[in-house]
Amino acid sequence: MRVNLYSQQRHVLIVDGIPISGFAEGDHMQVKADGNAATRTMGGDGPAMNLSVAQGGKVTIALNPISPALGAMYALRNEQNLNPRLFNVVLMTGVEEVITASGCAFGELPQFASGGPQQTPRQFEIEALDIVFDTSSIESVAGGLLGSLI
């Protein structure tokens, strides 16, 4: 039986078919799926539950200022300004779960500072129409472990 162990070296990020490397320290990739949540409400008829549908989300990527992929990311963003089109982002995490964001476009570039003792990471926010989490490699391992314990 294969057990997935976390490894930061296993992170893979592909933006519009371009492999991205040179990540900043810490949590250099974040994915926030919007919607698909439950909210409790209290009405005249008593308690109720409202369920929202999945509504895409946001992928945030932090790159070192000396990242070899920085030029490619800025070029993709400039291309979006000249010739608007949507693209895909594929991320494999350190435990081999695959997250696919489709119908993507760059959001606003955040402000960054320079001139201090350390360069700040360059962050790119990418808005997505759809985000899919594929955890099948994790589930199969967890199912196998749990199944052997029961």
Confidence of residue 149 (pLDDT cuts 50, 70, 90): very low
Residue 74 is part of which domain span? 8-34+51-149
Residue from 30, 48, 28, 29 nearest 38 by CA? 48
- Whether 37 has a pLDDT exceeding 50, the answer reads yes
- Whether 147 has a pLDDT exceeding 50, the answer reads no
Q: Is residue 30 part of a domain?
A: yes
Q: Is residue 45 part of a domain?
A: no
- Whether 128 has a pLDDT exceeding 60, the answer reads yes
Mean pLDDT (the chain, rounded): 81
Q: For 43-78, how does the pLDDT look when each residue is reduced to its tens digit (9 = 90+)? A: 788 888 777 766 789 999 999 888 999 999 999 999
Residue from 1, 56, 11, 2 nearest 34 by CA? 56
Q: Is residue 77 part of a domain?
A: yes
Q: Is residue 131 part of a domain?
A: yes
Q: Is residue 3 part of a domain?
A: no
Q: What is the pLDDT of residue 112?
A: 72
Overall domain count for the chain: 1
Q: Is residue 67 part of a domain?
A: yes
The one-letter amino acid at 128: A
Q: For 79-99, how does the pLDDT look when each residue is reduced to its tens digit (9 = 90+)? A: 998 998 999 999 988 777 899
Tokens found for residue 133: 């989490």
Task: Give the CATH number of the domain where residue 65 resides.
Answer: 2.30.110
Q: What is the dihedral of CA 57, 58, 59, 62, to 10 degrees?
A: -160
Residue from 59, 6, 56, 10 nearest 30 by CA? 59
Q: What is the pLDDT of residue 7?
A: 61
Residue 68 CB: number of other CB atoms within 10 A?
12
Q: Is residue 127 part of a domain?
A: yes
Q: List the beta bridge partners of residue 31.
A: 59
Q: Is residue 40 part of a domain?
A: no
